[in-house]
Amino acid sequence: MAVELAAMTLVQAAKSGDDLAFDVLLEPLLEPAYRLACAMLHDHHAAEDAVQEAALKAWRKLGQLRDGSEMRPWFLGIVANECRTTRRSRWSSVLKSLTPDRPVDEPADTVLSGIELRRALLAMDSKKRLTLVLHWYLDLPLAEVAAITGSSLHAAESRLQRGIHELRQRMEGNRG
């Protein structure tokens, strides 16, 4: 409770022009934002650009953050939007990066199943993919996933279930 109050105070301070308060709020969000962007784009260079651009947009649009709202879902929503824009303009690099660009010390089977999983994820519609990444990769609770994706709790849950189902079918198809 005290932590939430402190965060709200920081949000108010940041909204009234306190840059230090904004930096304090933003810093712990950069790591999840970067992981989100990597998971959505599968290209860490593009992910870095997306997070940087999202940080600038967040600073410019801070006045739009509603009083009483939390910074994390709002900022991750901006990152997700940025990824959508980036992905639209970077199809070739996204497709190329399905194969990781660094050496991986894992058995060939694991590497292949990783490639297949990433391919299945990229083939999903963007909201389903975002929901799956937020809940399964960033470990965010469904209520926060719903806030980030701008949908109801039930819609988020349903999207998650369909996403998992799609992944499972695709992976079983490949094994079987």
Partner 1 sequence: VDSDPKLRSEFRRALDVVSPPAPWLRTNVKDALRQERRTRSWRMWRRLPVIVLRLPRLSQKVAAVALIVVLAAATVEVFLVTHRQANQSVPAGPAPPQAMSSGTQGLRAGTYVFRPLFDASGKPFPNVLITVPAGWSSYEGFAVQSFTGTPRELAVSVWNVGDVYANGCHWLGPTIHPGATVDELAAVLAARPLRNATAPVAASFGGYQGKYLEWSVPTDIRFQQASAEHGFSDCDGGMFKSWSDAEGDRYQQGPGQVDQLWILDVEGHRLLIDATYMPGSTVQDRAELAQLVNSIAFKR
- Identity of the residue, 77 or 137, whose beta carbon is nearer to partner 1 in the bound complex: 137
- C-alpha closest to that of 14 among 5, 6, 23: 23
Q: How far is the CB of 24 from partner 1 (least distance, A)?
A: 12
Q: How far is the CB of 15 from partner 1 (least distance, A)?
A: 15
Least distance from partner 1 to the Cβ atom of residue 56, Å = 5
Nearer to partner 1, 2 or 68 (CB): 68
Each as own residue / partner, the long-range contacts of residues 44-47 (CB below 8 Å, 24 or more positions apart, any chain) are 46/86, 46/90, 46/93, 46/94, 47/83
Q: How many residues does the chain have?
A: 176
- Within the chain, where are the H helices? 2-15, 19-41, 44-60, 71-89, 91-96, 108-123, 126-132, 142-149, 153-175
What minimum distance in Å lies between the beta carbon of 87 and partner 1? 13
**Residues in the site for partner 1, rule: CB under 8 A?**
19, 23, 26-27, 30, 34-35, 38-39, 42-44, 47-48, 51-52, 55-56, 59-60, 97, 100, 102, 104, 110, 113-115, 117-118, 121, 132-133, 136-137, 142, 151-152, 154-155, 157-158, 160-162, 164-165, 167-168, 171
| Cβ count within 10 A of residue 156 | 25
- Ramachandran class of 86: left when φ > 0, alpha when ψ lies in -120 to 50, beta otherwise: alpha
Residue among 2 and 175 whose Cβ is closer to partner 1: 175
Kindly tell me which of 15 and 162 has the beta carbon lying closer to partner 1: 162
Q: Which is nearer to partner 1, 12 or 49 (CB)?
A: 49
Nearer residue to partner 1 within complex by CB, 15 or 118: 118
Minimum distance from residue 141 beta carbon to partner 1 (Å): 11
In the complex, what is the shortest distance from the CB of residue 34 to partner 1, in angstroms, rounded to a whole number? 6
Long-range CB pairs of 12-15 (<8 Å, 24+ gap) are 12/67, 14/62, 15/62, 15/63, 15/65
